[in-house]
Structure 1
């Protein structure tokens, strides 16, 4: 069980701001005293002091359930991670040769559409029927398949490029998924992989979802990894690193003008806007995602399924 407390979260943000300030040398006396004063205020705020947190049970809601809820508004403006991840992915794709491409975990087809526009022959695969419905509406002339990343509906050596965006945090082990990508890629083919950054997961933990049958809130299980985990999974399969980038949250993204009218007493990212200086110190210029560009070794020997 995980107990998610709005007061606990804000105290954690204040603590993260202090620790980062100490580490980076930006925590002068005024900054430290301001954080301590805000901590005292937080502890004395009745709306927070008496607010009940939420006890959530990890693993009681599926990825399919979450994406069913997300599908209608996934492409709406303001998804901060997509806003930072997408330009990096597109810049990499702009430099790749045209050919057959797979958008694995394509979602609503945002990268599928870009690949298609560049001139690739694209196939889209996703496990969520709700997200695929949106993709098919957007791109009626593209082949989409409902399938899992562990069992891609493509033969060996079928594509020149694989894109997998913001999806592998939902799988418990990277190696089987990357092995499947290596199987469908031709020798010398390219893999562009993006994921939520491990550091971001600490300052913006997963929020609780709708209650389950027992009335408890649900917590989606996610797997956030250090950068070394991607290398440990990719290199033995014959992938070579061509580029790695960690898009960062821009400075000034949290301002007092965006504060809500009332103080939320439940776990919500709106809480961050009530103490923007601490939130900015903890979050600004911190990595939100990681984007990898791998290339499969053209001289790799053996069966694709053995990689």
Structure 2
């Protein structure tokens, strides 16, 4: 069980901003303003409320709920992620592509439109049902990343988008990617950056009975990806860490604005809106994603 309080998140933002000012240039008023805001927050009785208890649920349970709204506009990660992933895959000749953790078929649709034979794999029957409607020309199979229902050496490319954050151990997953790829095949992986996860970017859903729940959000470091990919026979073609917004100067900013924390379902983004200057100070220049392009060693037969 995870216990989340709006007050604690706001105090955490203030503290993160103070840590940045400890090693970066800022005016003498910046730190004093952060401390003053923290005191003000602590004195406001309306923020002294019990935490929301959210249980950790498997990705399959979370996506069963999320599948109902997954394709609705509003996920700010999708456009830059698709631009980066499609930019890499545009250089791959038409062939067999496995869309691992395909979800509702975001990438499968684009791949099929470029002439690829697409095999989408996902562990959520509900997401697959939507993918089959969205991309009727593709083939969709239910399966886990650790045991892809694809023959050895069958694929020219594998794409896995925004899914590995739900996986605790990357090694068996990369071993599967290598197994299904032909020598020289391409692997494109996008994932939520571990620094963005630390800011609270973890999928949250309401279960059918209304209980709040969080899907797993494992914070994989660069060494975790490389420690799984290199022994599996992959070599790195490129790695990018797109930033949401550039870094901003550290200044005192305005006083804490009024406003509500918003429903738990909108956290942490509604909370960030209460301290926009602090949010910008903490997240400016922070990578939101990591995008990998690997190739399976052509000599690995």
For normalisation by structure 2, the TM-score amounts to 0.89
SS at match of 2:230: helix
Q: What is the CA–CA distance in structure 2 between the aligned matches of 1:69 and 1:103, rounded to whole Å? A: 21
SS at match of 1:90: helix
2:207 maps to 1:233: no
Aligned equivalent of 1:300: 300
CA drift at 1:207: 6.6
Q: What is the CA–CA distance in structure 1 between the aligned matches of 2:207 and 2:95, rounded to whole Å? A: 45
2:121 maps to 1:125: yes
Aligned equivalent of 1:85: 81
Q: What is the CA–CA distance in structure 1 between the aligned matches of 2:153 and 2:203, rounded to whole Å? A: 39
Aligned equivalent of 1:284: 284
Aligned equivalent of 1:30: 29
2:200 maps to 1:201: no
Q: Which moved more, 1:159-168 or 1:130-139?
A: 130-139
CA drift at 1:23: 2.8
Deviation track 1:182-203 (CA, whole Å, cap 9, x = no partner) reads 1110000000011111111111
User: What are structure 2's unaligned runs of at least 5 residues?
Assistant: 249-253
CA drift at 1:7: 0.7
Q: What is the CA–CA distance in structure 2 between the aligned matches of 1:48 and 1:262, rounded to whole Å? A: 10
Structure with greater helix share of residues: 1
Count residues in correspondence. Answer: 292
CA drift at 1:263: 3.5
Deviation track 1:159-201 (CA, whole Å, cap 9, x = no partner) reads 1000000111222211111111111100000000111111111
Change over 3 Å in CA distance of 1:205–1:96 after alignment to 2: closer
Instruction: Return structure 1 stretches of 4+ with deviation > 6 angstroms.
Output: none
The answer on whether the counterparts of 2:170 and 2:225 sit within 8 Å (CA) in structure 1 is yes
Aligned equivalent of 2:59: 63
- After superposition, residues 12-23 of structure 1 pair within 5 angstroms as 12-23=12-23
- After superposition, residues 1-307 of structure 1 pair within 5 angstroms as 1-25=1-25, 27-49=26-48, 51-58=49-56, 61-204=57-200, 206=202, 209-210=205-206, 217-251=212-246, 262-264=260-262, 266=264, 268-269=267-268, 270-301=270-301
Q: What is the CA–CA distance in structure 1 between the aligned matches of 2:237 and 2:263, rounded to whole Å? A: 46
SS at match of 1:236: coil
SS at match of 1:247: coil
Deviation track 1:234-278 (CA, whole Å, cap 9, x = no partner) reads 10111000000111112599xx9xx99534375722011001000
Q: What is the CA–CA distance in structure 2 between the aligned matches of 1:241 and 1:169, rounded to whole Å? A: 20
Q: What is the CA–CA distance in structure 2 between the aligned matches of 1:285 and 1:263, rounded to whole Å? A: 25
Q: What is the CA–CA distance in structure 2 between the aligned matches of 1:278 and 1:203, rounded to whole Å? A: 13
The answer on whether the counterparts of 1:251 and 1:280 sit within 8 Å (CA) in structure 2 is no
The answer on whether the counterparts of 1:195 and 1:291 sit within 8 Å (CA) in structure 2 is yes
Change over 3 Å in CA distance of 1:261–1:4 after alignment to 2: closer
Aligned equivalent of 1:304: none
Change over 3 Å in CA distance of 1:36–1:77 after alignment to 2: same
Change over 3 Å in CA distance of 1:292–1:277 after alignment to 2: same
Deviation track 1:16-47 (CA, whole Å, cap 9, x = no partner) reads 1121233332x322322222222122112221
User: What are structure 1's unaligned runs of at least 5 residues?
Assistant: 302-307
